[in-house]
Amino acid sequence: MSIRYYDEPGIFFAHALALEQEAAERLAETAQMMQVHNNNALVTLFQELAAYSLEHGNEIKELAKGIQLPELKPWEYDWPGAEAPESGDSGSLHYLMNERQALEFVLDGEQDAHSFYLLAVEKTEDEQVRKYARLFAEEEAGHVELIKTRLSQSADDAADDLEDLDPPNMPE
Amino acid sequence: MSALTAKQYKSDIKPVWCPGCGDYGVLNAICKALAAMELPLEQSAIISGIGCSSRLPAYTSLYGFHAVHGRALPVATGLKVARPDLQVFAIGGDGDGFSIGGNHFLHACRRNVNLVYIVMDNEVYGMTKGQASPTTPADWERSKLTPHGTQMRPFQPCAIALAAGAGFIARAYSGDPNGLARMIVEANNFEGFAFIQVLSQCITFCPEQKGWKQQIKPFGLDLPVDDPVTAANILHGDDGLATGIVYANPRPVWPGDSRKAEPQTTGELAGGFEI
């Protein structure tokens, strides 16, 4: 039988750590993509969010001190989808995306991470896992609220349809 | 020395691919697979042709070679035959591999050199601004070069690999980098030519491929099979969007044992030219 991420503390913390590390790498990678494509308005946003994920990863590492973490291969993680929940859907990125769309991309990831921990609270039979899953779910709920607040402050952008006024197709 | 992380298999050169491109997922999968296998950097090499996806070697910290258009496989074959101790990965896109390099693809399957060939298939020539490729659907009308679609049956990479003699045939999706990493490990462990067709979306020229996320599913069969007839039935019966290792059936790799008797040192080689 394959592992379940909420069965025991070591496996749970290995997942929590990978979740933040993969999110940090995805966000840093996205910042770099936006830089390459001159969408400079979003570079700082994604860099800032990547730094938060890295920081949360370090906090989880501290909490996991003394717990034996298993070494899992990438495909051995028990993610609900194809990738770690907070990584977001990289296929939804676009070089013309605006701040609102970028925040929506991040919000999806934060909401998925929140659901991931809520499910662990509900399903686990291990008290230590439940305690930390509840804590992490609360943290993720806080992130969701933060992103929602930023979204509400973000200007409504008329170019939400991602239409490129200078499209890459050359006239032939 | 401790094992490297997936991130350490990436170079400092940042990809110029479009945000949303599936090739990021393939790069991540390759690096995850290399880390899982704990392959030393100096014992692996990655060879590409030309195209968006063929930029990939520069984004890794392995030895690499960005070869001539369509010629990733001949270069990779030469490298593996000359340096059998190396783990050799050939990579590229559908245009590079199935059109310009189509003939090499057939003979690489047939020759069965022990290497892994990963094709990032986005069904379009992205680097040259979106022309139809061999795997483009017949009714795709987005290019001004083919305003009425190609009206040609798309190339069937996995079925053709099987017919040409490949021993390991798989299809994957760039949106599942962890699953693809596992597949790359299995392909690398396979003794012989291992082919992986990766459906890797081009959101710039084929935005409809964003729908792949909902459409792609596992074959849902007890795979891989080792019977070519069964594999052919599976591959001819699917819609091109099912993933998994379809066929694994090792056969003698090229070059065979007879090559071991050939000159190995420069002195021995020089002896071969004596009159």
Q: How many angstroms from the chain centroid is the CA of residue A89?
A: 9
Q: Which parts of chain B sit beneath pLDDT 70?
A: 1-2, 258-264, 269, 271-275
Determine what percent of chain B is predicted with pLDDT higher than 70: 94
Measure CB to CB from residue B19 to each of A74, A83, A94 and give the nearest one: A94
Given this model, what pLDDT does residue A172 score?
A: 47
The mean predicted confidence, pLDDT, of chain B is: 94
Write out chain B residues lying below 8 Å of A170, CB-based.
129
Rounded distance, CA B258 to CA B62, Å?
A: 31
B145 vs A contacts (CB less than 8 Å): 172
pLDDT at position A110, please? Answer: 97
Neighbouring residues of A9: CB distance < 8 A, sequence distance ≥ 6: A67, A126, A128, A129, A132
pLDDT digit string, tens, across residues A26-40 = 999 999 999 999 999
CB B193 within 8 A of CB B139: no
Structural contact between residues B31 and B74, judged by C-beta atoms closer than 8 angstroms: no
Residue B141 near residue B159 (C-beta atoms within 8 A)? no
**Coil, helix or strand at residue A67:** coil
Nearest to A36 among B16, B144, B203 (CB): B16
Q: Is B126 on the interface with A (CB under 8 A)?
A: no
| ipTM (interface predicted TM) | 0.92
| Partners of residue B210 in chain A, C-beta under 8 Å | 91-92
The pLDDT assigned to B262 comes to 60
pTM of the model: 0.93
What is residue B154's DSSP assignment?
A: P
Q: What is the pLDDT of residue A3?
A: 87
pLDDT in tens, B170-187: 999 999 999 999 999 999
Residues of B in contact with A91 (CB under 8 A): 20, 22, 175, 201, 203, 210, 212-213
Q: What would you measure as the largest C-alpha separation in chain B, in angstroms?
A: 67
Q: Which residues of B touch A73 (CB under 8 A)?
A: 36, 181-182
Task: Give dist(CA A86, CA B177) in Å, integer.
Answer: 15
Q: Do B19 and A33 touch (CB under 8 A)?
A: yes
Nearest CA in chain A to B217: A82
Q: What pairs with residue B44 in β-bridges?
A: B87
What distance in Å separates residue B42's CA from the closest CA in chain A? Answer: 22
| Residue pair B254/B80 in contact by the 8 Å Cβ criterion | no
Distance (Å) from the alpha carbon of A158 to chain B's nearest alpha carbon: 20
Residue B30 token pair: 């390759």
Whether B147 and chain A come into contact, CB under 8 Å, resolves to no
What φ, ψ does residue B92 adopt, rounded to 5°?
A: 170, -170
Locate the chain A residue with the closest alpha carbon to B15.
Answer: A33
Q: Which residue has the tokens 């949360």?
A: A56
Contact residues on chain A for B198, CB-CB shorter than 8 A: none
B43 touching chain A per CB within 8 A: no
DSSP B1-44: -PPPPGGGGB-SSPP-SPTT-THHHHHHHHHHHHHHHT--GGGE
Does A100 touch chain B if contact means CB atoms closer than 8 Å? no
Where residue A160 falls among pLDDT bands split at 50, 70, 90?
Answer: low
Say if residues A129 and A6 touch (Cβ distance below 8 Å).
yes
- A171 reaches B (C-beta below 8 A): yes
Summarize the confidence of residues A126-153 as an average pLDDT: 96
Q: Note the Cα A77 to chain centre separation in Å.
A: 16
User: How large a percentage of chain A has pLDDT more than 90?
Assistant: 87
CB contact under 8 A, B16 and A169: no
